[in-house]
């Protein structure tokens, strides 16, 4: 039995894994776990990941959760090109530095804007108050500035001259608010040029394929979300927006 990846491409980490595996010709079986239907909470999926979160990996009898752990597992198991997770100590440290930082910065702030702008109106039937939306945008702007000044600087990629796991995770995280209709690359030429380089490095067709669902999320309707998930989203986001 080969590697199985349990994914929903609405999720940023899932897209990173999908792109990484496909661009490196890693053989895997795509196991869809539909978040909107609550399939991540099923008893069947809990046998793979007790945390009830995607992505998850199963390799024979071995299972693994957490996107970064899975990316590193695949990079090592399939001996992917060095630039993804460099053997050079300092270049690897730059990748690790971003991977450690991104959880409560780029990913959190980008996801927050996406959820408030897309899912809160679907769950409640009411648009997000403008001042709450502006607050989420301002929080995202703060971490975008930090990303440009601290991590990207004047380099082609985060770890230097070649794309790495850090760039891949960063770009899929930034595409989340883009899917919500917030073009954060506009007016940021350095960021836009970097995004284009990452897209070209992994392959434009693959990049677009992986992001098709998120870029069409505006077509999502409330009846496509399981009632229990709608209520779960509603309560969580109302608390967050209060």
Last residue of a domain, one of 34, 50, 80: 80
Q: Judge if 103 and 198 occupy the same domain.
A: yes
Tell me the pLDDT band of 226, cut-offs 50, 70 and 90: confident
Supply the range of the domain harboring residue 188: 89-241
Q: Which residues are registered as beta bridge partners of 65?
A: 56
Regarding whether 148 and 174 lie in a shared domain, the answer is yes
Indicate whether 222 pLDDT > 90: no
- Domain boundary, last residue among 54, 80, 106: 80
Q: Verify that 64 and 100 share a domain, yes or no.
A: no
CATH number, domain containing residue 146: 1.20.1050.10
Compute the mean pLDDT over every residue in the chain, rounded to the nearest whole number: 93
* pLDDT over 70 (residue 238): no
Q: Give the CA radius of gyration of the chain.
A: 18
The answer to whether residues 83 and 164 touch, using CB atoms and an 8 Å cutoff, is yes
pLDDT at 240: 63
Q: Are residues 93 and 195 in the same domain?
A: yes
In the predicted structure, residue 224 carries a pLDDT above the cut 90: no
Residues 96 and 66 both lie in one domain: no
**Do residues 116 and 136 both lie within one domain?**
yes
8: CATH: 3.40.30.10
How far is it, in rounded angstroms, from Cα 179 to Cα 177?
A: 5
Residue 230's pLDDT is 78
Q: What is the pLDDT of residues 159-202, one digit of tens each?
A: 999 999 999 999 999 999 999 899 999 999 999 999 999 999 99
- In terms of domains, do 29 and 138 share one? no
- Pair 42, 101 in one domain: no
pLDDT tens digit sequence for 81-140: 999 999 999 999 999 999 999 999 999 999 999 988 888 888 788 777 889 889 999 999
d(C-alpha 177, C-alpha 184), whole Å: 8
Highest mean pLDDT among 35-44, 74-83, 224-233 belongs to 74-83
The total number of structural domains that make up the chain = 2
Token pair listed for 117: 């702008």
Side-chain-side CA neighbours of residue 168 (13 Å): 31
Quick one: pLDDT at residue 232?
A: 73
């Amino acid at each position: 039995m080969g590697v199985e990846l349990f994914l929903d491409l609405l999720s940023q980490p899932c897209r990173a894994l999908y792109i990484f595996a496909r661009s490196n010709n890693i053989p895997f079986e795509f196991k869809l776990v539909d978040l909107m239907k609550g399939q991540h909470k099923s008893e069947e999926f809990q046998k793979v990941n007790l945390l009830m979160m995607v992505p998850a990996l199963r390799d024979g009898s071995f299972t693994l959760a957490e996107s970064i752990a899975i990316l590193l597992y695949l990079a090592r198991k399939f001996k992917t090109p060095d630039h993804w997770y460099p053997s050079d100590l300092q270049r690897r440290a730059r990748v690790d530095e971003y991977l450690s930082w991104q959880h409560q910065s780029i990913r959190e702030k980008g996801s927050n804007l996406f959820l408030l702008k897309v899912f809160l109106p679907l769950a409640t039937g009411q648009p997000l108050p403008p001042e709450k939306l502006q607050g989420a945008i301002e929080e995202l702007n703060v971490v975008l500035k930090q990303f440009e000044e601290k991590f990207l600087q004047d380099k082609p990629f985060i770890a230097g001259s070649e794309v790495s796991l850090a760039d891949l995770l960063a770009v899929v995280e930034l595409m989340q608010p883009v899917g919500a209709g917030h073009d954060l690359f506009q007016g940021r030429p350095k960021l836009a040029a970097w995004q284009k380089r990452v897209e070209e490095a992994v392959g434009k067709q693959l990049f677009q394929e992986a992001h098709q669902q998120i870029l069409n999320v505006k077509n999502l309707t409330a009846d496509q979300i399981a009632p229990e998930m709608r209520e779960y989203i509603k309560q969580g986001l109302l608390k967050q927006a209060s």
